[in-house]
Structure 1
Amino acid sequence: MPEYRRILLDGAVTETVREGDALVAGDGRRVAIDEAAHLPPVAPTKIIAVHLNHRSRVEEFRTRLPDAPTYFHKPTSALNSHRGAVVRPEGCKWLNYEGEIAIVIGRTCRNVAPEDAAEHIAGYTVANDFGLHDFRDTDAGSMLRVKGSDTLCPLGPGLVTDWDFRGKHLRTYVNGEVVQDGNTDEMTWDMHYLVADIARTITLFPGDVLLSGTPAGSRPVRPGDVVEVEAEGLGRLTNHVVTGPVPIRADVGAQPTESEEVRSTALGGDWEFRGIRPPRRS
């Protein structure tokens, strides 16, 4: 399966193709993968993410899925790359990883049927949909700062084409320990469905990214932690967590909080979904 990576080569953004342990530019220049300065593999105009999709995540929150997927938006300023630093701002403590698979659009897409969506997909990459839950109380459901703060959308290491998303393992590691272990077959809505659903009312352009959901096990990480997300056939995305040197400004806007909702969501509880929890069986 061809794999394409964007790197910074001699000061210029360069598209490369992976050949074994090397990345090869169009002009023939080669750089070892371990020495490359990686960039996000695509440059989207928008990043759209589904809330809940993996059955294990739904069960973890003791809730049920709606009849159709719901979404939120991550600004492109949240983009980060393979080996990039994820910043937990000073004064915040509830930064969670969420290992996911990202769908990358290849052709302008609008009003397509699920069975035709594959023709509009360029390929797939690994994603980590980090969430800064300290702002969950103040985002009024938009997830803007929770999921859209700077550095909270690592993608990479490369864009893989001709990849079949069915039956693929998805794992997240923190400091080498497996903390999420899922499979694409537990997704309620597959990649083609998600593309067709969004494209009913939103035009998707080449490079746009859709995040397809995370399995159970999202938990907080701290500065110094190394977080890796591995998807079968797509490679392993590696990032490390650092502390932002400047505290959240206190002279404007809502401040980070540590309510029951914040703690429960960050630690895998059910606060966020209590209103739609199914009745318990006796």
Structure 2
Amino acid sequence: MPEYRRILLDGAVTQVRREGDELVSADGRVVGVEDAVYLPPCEPTKIIAVHLNHRSRVTEFMTTLPPAPTYFHKPTSALNAHKGAVVRPERCEYLNYEGEIAIVIGRTTRNVSPAEAGDHIAGYTIGNDYGLHDFRDTDAGSMLRVKGSDTLCPLGPGLVTGWDFRGKALRTYVNGHVVQEGSTDEMEWDMHYLVADIARTITLYPGDVLLSGTPAGSRPVKPGDVVEVEAEGLGKLSNHIVTGPVPIRDDCGAQPTTSEEVLSTAFGGDWEFRGIRAPRR
């Protein structure tokens, strides 16, 4: 399956094709896969994410799925890339990973059926839908600050075309240990359904991204942690957590909290029933 990546090559944004352990540009320049400086593999005008889709995640939160998917929006300023630093701001403690498959739109899409949606997809990449749950009590359910803060949408390492999403394993690692493990087959709504659903009322443009949901096991990470998301056939997206140099301002806006809502989301929805004391991070 062809895989394309966007990198900085001699100071210029360049699309390259992966050939084994090398990345080759259209003019023949070559850089090693491990040596490249990566950019997000696409340039979306919008990033849309589904709230719940994996059945293991639904079970973890002791809830039920709605009759149809619900979504939220991540601003493009949240974009990050393979090997990029994910920033946990000072005064915040509950930054959670969420390993996901990202759908990348290939052509203008509006009012298509699920059966037609596949023809509108350019390919797939890996996403990590980080959430800053310290702000879970704000923004009236839109999760703008929770999911939209800077650096909280790494994508990569590349865009894979011709990938069949069915029956694919998805794993997240923190410092080399598996912390999430699932399969695309546990999704209630598949990739084609999600595209068709959104495109009923929202025009999708080439490069736009839909994040398709995460399995159970999302938990907080701390500065110094290395988080990797691996999807069968798509490779492995790696990022590291750093502390933001500037604390969240306290002279305006809602402040970080440690409410029951924050903790129950950060620790999987049933932390209090297992007698778990939320650790200081």
TM beyond 0.5: yes
Q: Is the 8 A contact 1:133 1:262 kept in 2?
A: yes
Q: Distance in 2 between matches of 1:62 and 1:88?
A: 28
Once residues 108 and 263 of structure 1 are traced to their aligned partners in structure 2, the CA distance between those partners, rounded to angstroms, is 40
The corresponding residue for 2:164 is 164
Separation in 2, partners of 1:19, 1:211: 27
Within 2, Cα distance between the matches of 1:78 and 1:7?
A: 18
Paired residue type of 2:136: R
Decide whether the 8 Å contact of 1:63 with 1:270 is kept in 2: no
Deviation at 1:139, TM superposition (A): 1.9
1:206 is aligned to 2:206: yes
The residue type paired with residue 256 of structure 1 is P
Number of aligned residue pairs: give it. Answer: 271
Matches within 5 A, 1:6-25: 6-25=6-25
Q: Which whole-Å deviations, capped at 9, do the CAs of 1:210-237 have from their partners, x for residues lacking one?
A: 0000000000000000000000000000
Instruction: Name the counterpart of 1:278.
Output: none
In 2: Cα distance, 1:38 partner to 1:22 partner: 13
Task: Give the 3-state SS of the residue equivalent to 1:197 in structure 2.
Answer: helix
- Matched ranges for 1:69-80 at <5 A: 69-80=69-80
Question: Equivalent residue for 2:276?
Answer: none
Distance (Å, rounded) in 1 between the aligned partners of 2:178 and 2:33: 24
- Could you give the per-residue CA deviations for residues 12-56 of structure 1, whole angstroms, max 9, x where no partner exists? 100000011010111110000111000000000000000000000
Are 2:6 and 1:3 aligned? no
Shift of 1:270: 5.4
Equivalent residue number for residue 258 of structure 2: 258
Distance in 1 separating the partners of 2:136 and 2:270: 14
Q: CA RMSD in A?
A: 0.8
TM-score of the two chains, using structure 1 as the length reference: 0.95
Match of 1:181, as an amino acid? E
Which digits, 9 at most, give the CA deviation of each residue in 1:61-104, with x for residues without a partner?
A: 01000000000000000000000000000000000000000000
Question: Which runs of structure 2 are paired with 1:26-45 in the superposition (5 Å)?
Answer: 26-45=26-45
Match of 1:229 in 2: 229
1:177 alignment counterpart? 177
Give 1:276's aligned residue.
Answer: none
The answer as to whether partners of 1:47 and 1:210 remain within 8 angstroms in 2 is yes
In 1: Cα distance, 2:15 partner to 2:75 partner: 23
Counterparts of residues 124-139 of structure 1 (less than 5 Å): 124-139=124-139
Aligned to 2:216: 216
Give the residue type in structure 1 aligned to 2:100: E
- Residues 54-203 of structure 1: matches in 2 within 5 Å? 54-203=54-203
4+ long deviations beyond 6 Å: none
Distance 1:184 1:248 in 2: 37
Q: Secondary structure at the match of 2:13?
A: strand
Opposite residue 138 of structure 1, the aligned amino acid is T
Secondary structure of 2:123's aligned partner: strand
Give, in whole Å, the separation in 2 of the partners of 1:216 and 1:258. Answer: 21
User: Following the alignment from structure 2 to structure 1, what is the Cα–Cα distance between the partners of residues 107 and 118?
Assistant: 10
Residue 138 of structure 1: how far off its partner (Å): 1.1
Measured in 2, the distance between the counterparts of 1:200 and 1:168 equals 27
Distance in 1 between the 2:34 and 2:3 partners? Answer: 16
> Aligned partners of 2:270 and 2:100: how far apart in 1?
21
Residues 5 and 41, structure 1, Cα contact 8 Å, conserved in 2 = yes
Aligned to 2:246: 246
Residues 111 and 199 in structure 1, CA contact (< 8 A), matched pair in contact too = yes
Q: CA deviation at 1:258?
A: 0.6
What amino acid does structure 2 have at the position aligned with 1:214? T
